[in-house]
Amino acid sequence: MSFKVAAAPHGHSQKKTNQVMAWVVFALIPGVIIQSYFFGWGVWFQILIAVTVAYLSESICVWARERSARQALRDNTALVTAVLLAISIPPLAPWWIIVIGTLFSIVVVKQVYGGMGQNIFNPAMAGYVLLLISFPVQMTHWLPAAPIAPYDLGLWQTLHTIIFEYTPTGYDVEQLRTTVDGMSMATPLDGVKTALDQGKILTEAYQQPMLGSLAGIGWQWLNLGFLLGGIILLQQRIIRWHIPVGFLAGLLVPSFLAHMFAPSIMPGPIFHALSGATMLGAFFIATDPVSAATSDRGRLLFGLLIGLLIWVIRTWGGYPDAVAFAVLLANLCVPIIDRYTRPTVYGHHSGAKHDAE
Amino acid sequence: MQDIKQFVESGQIARFPGGIHPPERKQPASEQPLRRVPYADELILPLRQHIGLSGQCTVRVGERVLKGQPLTDAALHQGLPLHAPTSGTVKAIEQRPMSHASGLPEQAIVITPDGEDKWRERQPRPDYQQRDKAELLDIIQAAGVAGLGGAGFPTSQKLAQQKPVSYLIINGVECEPYICADDRLMREHARDIVLGMRILAYITGTDKTLLAIEDNKPEAIDSMRVAIAEYDDIELRIVPTKYPSGGEKQLIQLLTGHEVPSKQLPIEMGIIMQNVGTAFAVKEAVIDDKPLIERVVTLTGECIEQPGNVWSPLGTPVDALLEYAGFKPEQQQRVIMGGPMMGFTLPITAVPVIKTTNCILVPSTRELPPPGDEMACIRCGACAEVCPATLQPQQLQWLAKAKDYPALEENNLFDCIECGACAFVCPSEIPLVHYYRQAKSQMRNQAREQAKAELAKKRFEARQARLEREKEERLERHRKAAEARKQMQQQQAQEASEQPSDNDGKSSAVAAAIARAKAKKAAQEDGSSTPAQPADAEPEQKSKKSAAVAAAIERAKAKKAAQQTARESDVEAESPATEQQRPAQDKSAAVAAAIARAKKKKQAREQQTSDDRASQSPDQEDKQ
C-alpha cells in the first residue's frame, strides 16, 4: 500500500485568504448601511454594477492568461476591490463611471501586473484617482446627506438617475444638489475648504448647513460606521493595528498641533477624523496587504506617511479629500520602506555577536 | 557572557518572537504507560542513521549476532556504530527503502531475531566518576548514542568540544503537537534521566544544569522535580507552551535571554544542549553498558486504535508498529514520521524506526485536513508575525520562487530553522518551508559546484602557466644557441678579415669591413649612444637589444609566476631553475621528475577530495 505524500507542516490554522477577504467585505456592511441611509439607494446599485464588472473582467483576464478563473474568483479579492471602489464614488454617479473605474482597477492595475498579490498600487484607489482626474464633475457630485437634502429619491428614481443621468421627473444631479435658495451643496470637507480659501475663519465655515455636531451631517456617522467595521477587523485579526494607528496618528497629530497654533483657520483632529474617507481609508484601504509595507515597523511608517499626506493635501492641496492620492503615493514608497525596516534576524543582533566573543 | 550568567542566575524566562499555538493533541497517547513492542520478523538497520558518515559493516550474511553486538565500525569519530537490537542472524545486507520522504533505497543490515534475546557480555559501570572523561566519551561513542531530539548528531562529538561549558541545558520541552515520547520517558524514568544528566555534567565539566520542560506536562514536571531534588546544581525551568520553544536556538533564548549568533554553535556561548532522551541513553550506555538499540516512539493519530508510546527496537518496520497499535487506514491516508509540524510523510511503511524516529503519526483527514490549493501570496505578513527567527518569510518565498540565490543569502535564508510556523498560518496555504528547503539544497549544490569549478580553474591555470613556462624556456634555449652560433660566426669572420685573401677582391674587403663594424657594435652592446653607427645597421641592432631586454623581463616574470604558482597550488612541483639547468638529454632525470610530478598531482587530488569533504560539513552542522 502506498500512502499520500505531503509537505510539512501537515496542519493548518483555518483562516484562508478567501475568508480574509470575505471578512473585509463583511466588516464594510455597517458603513454601507449608514451610507445608504444618508445618501440613498445609489450605493447598492454602484456595488452591484462594480461587482458584476469586476467578476466578468477578472474572468476574462485570467482566462486570457490561461489560468483557472474559478480559482481566481474564489479568492474574493476582486469582490473587495469592486466594493471599495463602489462605496468611494458618489452614489448617483452615472453607470459608466463605475464601469470604467472597475475595469481600470481590475484589468490594468491588477491583472496587467500579474494578478492577485502582484499589484504595486491599491487597485480601488488607482481606479478612483483615474476617475477623479478624468471626470471631476461626476466624481464630486455628492448629494447632501438625507436630513438636509432638498429631494428624497426612491429606488426607481435612483436607478433611473444612475442609468440616464436624470430622474424620471427630469432633474439632473446638479439640480438635485441645489437647495431652494439656489446654492449647490458641497461636501463638508469641500465646504470648509472653500470657506477658508475665501478668507473666512473656522467658526464661520462651520456654520454652513452641511456641518453637523462633530463633522459633516451624515459623514460623521459614515466614518463612525467604518470605524466600527475596522474594529471588527482588528478583533478578528484580519488586519493588524500598525497601519490604522499610523494612518490616524499621521493625520490627527499634525491637525491637532496646527489647530492649537491656529485655531481660527486650521480644522481640528475631530473634523479630520470624521470627514471624507478617513475611516474607510485607515481601516479598509490602506490596510490592503498587497500594496502595503510588510514589516510591522514598515506598516507603521506606511500608515504615518498616508495620514500625513492626507493632512497636507487637505490643508494646502487642490482637492478637498486626499485618501486616494496619499495611498498611491505611499504605495510608491513601499519598496524603500521595506528595504529599511527589515527586522533583525535571530542571531544577527549586534549584541549577540558581542556576547559570543 | 556576563550578561548570560546574570540572566540565568536570576531564574527568569525570556520570550522569543513569533511562535504559534497549534492544537496540542498529546492527550490520548500521553496518558498510556510505555509498552514494549515484540520483535518484528525482521529488523532493518540502515547503515546511515543520522548526520555523519556511515560505518563499515563488520558482520557477514548468515552470521549469528548477539544483542548489543556492534554491527558496524564507526568511521573514526565522525560516525557511530550500529548494534544488534536483539540476538539473531544476519539475513541480508542489501538496499532497503529509507526512512525518508523519498523512500529511496539505501544499504541496510537485516536481522532475523531468534527470539532468545541473548545479550553479549556486558560490563556495567556504576563508578563513572572514577573514570576519565575521554574514556566516557569513547564509551558513549561506542554505544552509538546520537541526539534523540532532533537530527541525531553524534552525542560524543557534541560533548567533545574543547571549550568551557558554563551551562548544560537538558531539553524536555517537546513542543511539537502529538509527540509525547519525552513526556512519557520523564514520567516513568526520571531517575535514569537525572543520572544521565549527571554523567553529561561530569563530562562537560559544568557546574550548572538547566532542565527545561513546557508547562503543558505537569506530571513530567512533578516526577522530574522529585528526581532532581537532591542535586543543588540542577535547576528546573518551566517554559510557557508555545511552538517552537523546544528548538535549540529558541530554548537558549528563553533560558539565557540571548541569541546564538548566526552561523555559530551554542558552545561558543558556553552552552551545550541535550535532549532528555539522549540523557537517558547516555545513562544506559555508561552505567548499564547498553548501547542505543531501542527508543521511545509515539504512535498516535485518529487512524490508530491504541495510541500510546512504545519502546521500539531500532530497525522495527513502521508497518509492524502500526499493526501493533491497530492501524485503520482511510482514503488518502498520510503516514507521518515525526510530528505534524516538521515530520515527513512516508510513501511506504516498510521502512524502519531509526535513531531519530520519535513519532509515527497517522492522522485522519478530519483532524489534520490535507492542504488546499496554493493561492498567491497577499503579503499579509502573518508568516513574519510568527517566525521565531524574525525572518520575512513572504520575501524569502518570492526570492525562492525567483531562484534569486544571492538575495536569499542576503535575507538570511540559512537562519531559517524550518519549524513550519509560517506555512501553518499562511492564509494562502503556500508550502513555504518546502520552497525554502528546495532553495537551500540548490544553493548548497551550487556552492559545491562552484568550489569544484574554482579548483578545476586553478588546476587549469597552473597547467597553462607550466606549459607557457616550458615553451619560454625552450625558446630561451634556442635563442641562446642561436646567439652562440652567431658569435662563433662573427669570430670566424673576424679571423677571416684578419687574414684577407686576395681572391675575393674588393667586395670581400667591404664585407669584411661591415662585419668588423658589426662586431664592434656587438661588443659595444651596452653603450647605446655611439655616434658613428651605420644607418642601415641601426634598426636591427635596436630590435635585437630590445628583444634581449624583453626576453630578460619575460624570463624574470615567468620565473616569478612559476614560483608563485608553485607556492600557491602545490600542483606544480618543479622549480623553473632546476628545469633550466637540467640537460634535456638526461632521460632518467626526466623520468624521475615525471614520477615526482605525478605523485604531487595525486596528492593534490587527494587533498582536493578532503577539501570537498570539508566543504560539506557546514551543511551537516546546519542540520544540528
Cβ–Cβ gap B259/A299 under 8 Å: no
pLDDT band at B595 (very low <50, low <70, confident <90, very high): confident
Pick from A9, A116, A342: which is nearest to B424 by CB? A9
**A223 or A8, which is more confident?**
A223
Considering the domain architecture, whether residues B412 and B275 belong to the same structural domain is answered as no
Among residues B362, B297, B300, B352, the alpha carbon closest in space to that of B329 is found at: B362
Assess whether pLDDT exceeds 50 at residue A182.
yes
- CB contacts, 8 Å: B420 with chain A: 8-9
Domain range enclosing B141: 1-31+124-289
pLDDT of residue B616: 47
Average pLDDT rounded to a whole number, residues B49-72 = 83
Considering the domain architecture, whether residues B135 and B282 belong to the same structural domain is answered as yes
Considering the domain architecture, whether residues B149 and B260 belong to the same structural domain is answered as yes
Pick from B347, B379, B412: which is nearest to A289 by CB? B379
Cβ–Cβ gap A116/B262 under 8 Å: no
SS3 A172: strand
Considering the domain architecture, whether residues B279 and B405 belong to the same structural domain is answered as no
Query: What percent of chain B has a predicted confidence (pLDDT) above 70?
Result: 85
Cβ–Cβ gap A8/B263 under 8 Å: no
Considering the domain architecture, whether residues B156 and B267 belong to the same structural domain is answered as yes
- What are residue B384's phi and psi, to 5 degrees? -65, -30
Q: What CA–CA distances, in Å, run from B388 to A347, B274, B319, B419, B435?
A: 11, 21, 35, 9, 18
Q: Does A356 touch chain B (CB under 8 A)?
A: yes
- SS in 3 state form for B198-216? HHHHHHHCCCCEEEEEECC
Cβ–Cβ gap B329/A1 under 8 Å: yes
A295, A344 Cβ separation under 8 angstroms: no
Considering the domain architecture, whether residues B398 and B281 belong to the same structural domain is answered as no
Three cell numbers written together for A168: 424620471
pLDDT band at B568 (very low <50, low <70, confident <90, very high): low
The answer to whether position B243 is within a domain reads yes
Considering the domain architecture, whether residues B251 and B397 belong to the same structural domain is answered as no
Average pLDDT rounded to a whole number, residues B397-407 = 91
pLDDT of residue B332: 87
pLDDT of residue B52: 60
Assess whether pLDDT exceeds 80 at residue B151.
no
Cβ–Cβ gap A292/B379 under 8 Å: yes
**B307 or B580, which is more confident?**
B307
Considering the domain architecture, whether residues B175 and B284 belong to the same structural domain is answered as yes
**B580 or B489, which is more confident?**
B489
Cβ–Cβ gap B376/A1 under 8 Å: no
Three cell numbers written together for A306: 498616508
pLDDT of residue B620: 43
pLDDT of residue A285: 96
pLDDT of residue B9: 87
Q: How far apart are CA A264 and CA A276, in angstroms?
A: 21
- CB contacts, 8 Å: A349 with chain B: 259
pLDDT band at B461 (very low <50, low <70, confident <90, very high): very high
The answer to whether position B407 is within a domain reads yes
Consecutive H or E run containing B308: strand B308-313
Assess whether pLDDT exceeds 80 at residue A355.
no
B364, B331 Cβ separation under 8 angstroms: no
Give bridge partners of residue B541 from the DSSP assignment. Answer: none
pLDDT of residue B577: 46
Closest chain A residue to B431, measured at CA: A7
Interface test with A, best of B378, B418, B432 (most A CBs within 10 A): B378
Assess whether pLDDT exceeds 90 at residue B608.
no
CB pairs under 8 A between A and B: 185
Strands B294-300 and B359-361: parallel
DSSP state of A105: I
Residue with cell 468611494: A88
Which residues make Cβ contacts (< 8 Å) with residue B311, sequence separation at least 6? Answer: B34, B35, B36, B37, B294, B295, B296
The answer to whether position B301 is within a domain reads no
Domain endpoint, select from B274, B289, B304? B289
pLDDT band at B282 (very low <50, low <70, confident <90, very high): very high
Q: How far is A122 from chain B (nearest CA, A)?
A: 12
Cβ within 8 Å of B, A 224-243: 240
pLDDT of residue B19: 92
Interface test with A, best of B100, B268, B341, B390 (most A CBs within 10 A): B390
Residue with cell 557546514: B618
Q: Does A350 touch chain B (CB under 8 A)?
A: no
The answer to whether position B105 is within a domain reads no
Cβ–Cβ gap A17/B428 under 8 Å: yes
Which tens digits make up the pLDDT trace of A282-300?
999 999 999 999 889 999 9
Lowest mean pLDDT segment, chosen from A48-62, B355-369, B531-545: B531-545
Which tens digits make up the pLDDT trace of B490-525?
998 888 877 655 555 566 667 777 777 777 777 776
A316, A325 Cβ separation under 8 angstroms: no
Assess whether pLDDT exceeds 70 at residue B158.
yes
Considering the domain architecture, whether residues B269 and B396 belong to the same structural domain is answered as no
This model of the complex carries an ipTM of: 0.85
Cβ–Cβ gap A289/B177 under 8 Å: no
Closest chain B residue to A5, measured at CA: B345
Three cell numbers written together for A215: 463633522
Which tens digits make up the pLDDT trace of B94-105?
999 988 888 888
Which tens digits make up the pLDDT trace of B217-276?
999 999 999 999 999 899 999 999 999 999 999 999 999 999 999 888 899 889 999 999
- CB contacts, 8 Å: A2 with chain B: 347-348
- CB contacts, 8 Å: B415 with chain A: 345-348
Pick from B342, B390, B395: which is nearest to A344 by CB? B390
Strands B308-313 and B294-300: antiparallel
The answer to whether position B343 is within a domain reads no
Domain endpoint, select from B289, B321, B341? B289
Strands B209-214 and B234-239: parallel
Q: How far apart are CA A60 and CA A69, in angstroms?
A: 8
Lowest mean pLDDT segment, chosen from A92-96, B203-207, B456-460: B203-207
Cβ–Cβ gap A12/B424 under 8 Å: yes
pLDDT of residue B587: 64
Residue type for position A274:
L
Assess whether pLDDT exceeds 90 at residue B84.
yes
Q: What's the longest Cα–Cα distance across chain B?
A: 129
Among residues A127, A76, A126, the alpha carbon closest in space to that of A98 is found at: A127
pLDDT of residue B617: 45
Domain count, chain B: 2
Assess whether pLDDT exceeds 60 at residue A41.
yes
Cβ within 8 Å of B, A 275-294: 289-290, 292, 294
Q: What is the DSSP string of B109-178?
A: EEEEE-S--PBPP----TTGGGS-HHHHHHHHHHTT-B-SSSS--BHHHHHT--S--SEEEEEE---SSS
The answer to whether position B507 is within a domain reads no
Three cell numbers written together for A75: 479568492
Average pLDDT rounded to a whole number, residues A52-76 = 90
Torsional sign, CA B187, B188, B190, B196: negative
The residue count for chain A: 357
The answer to whether position B50 is within a domain reads no
- What are residue B409's phi and psi, to 5 degrees? -60, -45
Three cell numbers written together for B615: 566543504
Per the prediction, chain B carries an average pLDDT of: 84
Domain endpoint, select from B224, B256, B289? B289
How many C-beta neighbours within 10 Å does residue A203 have? 9
- CB contacts, 8 Å: B332 with chain A: 4
Dihedral angle computed from the Cα positions of residues A187, A188, A190 and A196, in that order, rounded to the nearest 10 degrees: 160
- SS in 3 state form for B248-277? HHHHHHHHHCCCCCCCCCHHHHCEEEEEHH
Assess whether pLDDT exceeds 60 at residue B580.
no
Cβ within 8 Å of B, A 182-221: none
Q: How far apart are CA A204 and CA A215, in angstroms?
A: 14
Three cell numbers written together for A71: 480559482
The answer to whether position B17 is within a domain reads yes
Which tens digits make up the pLDDT trace of A118-159?
999 999 999 999 999 999 988 988 888 877 777 788 888 889
Considering the domain architecture, whether residues B277 and B154 belong to the same structural domain is answered as yes
B25, B359 Cβ separation under 8 angstroms: no
B78, B70 Cβ separation under 8 angstroms: no
SS3 B466: helix
Assess whether pLDDT exceeds 80 at residue A90.
yes
Q: What is the DSSP string of A269-337?
A: HHHHHTSTTHHHIIIIITT-TTTS--SHHHHHHHHHHHHHHHHHHHHHSSSS--HHHHHHHHHHHHHHH
Cβ–Cβ gap B379/A117 under 8 Å: yes
- CB contacts, 8 Å: B389 with chain A: 345-347
Q: How far apart are CA B188 and CA B224, in angstroms?
A: 10
Assess whether pLDDT exceeds 90 at residue B458.
yes
Q: How far apart are CA B59 and CA B81, in angstroms?
A: 12
Q: How far is A82 from chain B (nearest CA, A)?
A: 17
Considering the domain architecture, whether residues B397 and B270 belong to the same structural domain is answered as no
Torsional sign, CA B371, B376, B380, B384: positive
Which residues make Cβ contacts (< 8 Å) with residue A237, sequence separation at least 6? Answer: none
pLDDT of residue B576: 47
Residue with cell 600542483: B571
Considering the domain architecture, whether residues B276 and B421 belong to the same structural domain is answered as no
Q: Does A58 touch chain B (CB under 8 A)?
A: no
CATH number at residue B4: 3.40.50.11540
Pick from A8, A13, A115: which is nearest to B343 by CB? A8
Cβ–Cβ gap B261/A13 under 8 Å: no
pLDDT of residue A354: 43
Lowest mean pLDDT segment, chosen from A239-253, B222-236, B366-380: B366-380
Pick from B259, B373, B392: which is nearest to A342 by CB? B392
